Amino acid sequence: MKTKKFELPEELMPRQWYNIVADMPTKPLPPLDPATKKPVTFEQMRTIFADELIRQEMSAERFIDIPDPVREIYKIWRPTPLVRAYGLEKALDTPAKIYFKNESVSPAGSHKPNTAVPQAFYNYEQGIKHLTTETGAGQWGSAIAFAGQHFGIDVKVFMVKVSYEQKPYRRLMMNTWGAECYSSPTDMTRSGRAALERDPECPGSLGLAISEAVEMALQHPENTRYCLGSVLNHVLLHQTIIGQEAIAQMEMADADPDIVIGCFGGGSNFAGIGFPFLRKNLTEGKTTRVIAVEPASCPKLTRGEFQYDFGDVSGYTPLIPMYTLGHDFQPSNIHAGGLRYHGAGSIVSQLLKDGLIEAQSVAQNETLAAGILFAKSEGIIPAPESTHAIAVAVREALKAKEAGEDKTILFNLSGHGVIDLYAYEQYLAGALKDYSPSDAEIRKTVERLEKLI
Angle of helix 268-284 relative to helix 346-353, nearest 10 degrees, comes to 50
Does any domain span residue 305?
Answer: yes
Determine whether 427 is exposed, middle or buried from the number of CB atoms within 10 Å of its CB (0-12, 13-18, 19+). buried
Given a cut of 50, the residues of the chain with pLDDT beneath it are none
Residue 147 and residue 120 in contact, taking contact as beta carbons nearer than 8 Å: yes
Residue 182 and residue 158 in contact, taking contact as beta carbons nearer than 8 Å: yes
**The one-letter amino acid at 281:** N
- The pTM (predicted TM-score) of the whole model is 0.95
Q: How many domains does the chain have?
A: 1
Does any domain span residue 184?
Answer: no
Does any domain span residue 363?
Answer: yes
Does any domain span residue 120?
Answer: no
Name the nearest CA neighbour of 264 among 276, 272, 256.
Answer: 272
pLDDT digits (tens, 9 = 90+) for 11-57: 999 999 999 999 999 999 999 999 999 999 999 999 899 999 999 99
d(CA 275, CA 279): 6
Pairing mode, strands 180-184 and 154-160:
parallel
CATH number for the domain that contains residue 331? 3.40.50.1100
Pairing mode, strands 82-84 and 5-6:
antiparallel
> Which strand (E) or helix (H) includes residue 175?
helix 168-176
- 358 SS3 class: strand
Residue 275 structural domain? 67-109+235-446
Name the nearest CA neighbour of 266 among 208, 316, 323.
Answer: 323
**pLDDT number for residue 340:** 76
Does any domain span residue 198?
Answer: no
d(CA 422, CA 162): 13
> Which strand (E) or helix (H) includes residue 31?
none
Does any domain span residue 403?
Answer: yes
Phi and psi dihedrals of 102, rounded to 5? -95, 90
- 402 SS3 class: helix
**pLDDT number for residue 336:** 61
**Extended strands (E) in 144-296:** 154-160, 180-184, 224-226, 259-263, 289-295
Does any domain span residue 227?
Answer: no
Pairing mode, strands 97-102 and 82-84:
antiparallel
Residue 177 and residue 146 in contact, taking contact as beta carbons nearer than 8 Å: yes
Name the nearest CA neighbour of 382 among 275, 269, 300.
Answer: 269
Cα separations in angstroms, 206 against 69, 138, 265: 30, 11, 10
Cα separations in angstroms, 45 against 42, 187, 225: 5, 26, 10
d(CA 95, CA 24): 34
**pLDDT number for residue 2:** 86
Does any domain span residue 133?
Answer: no
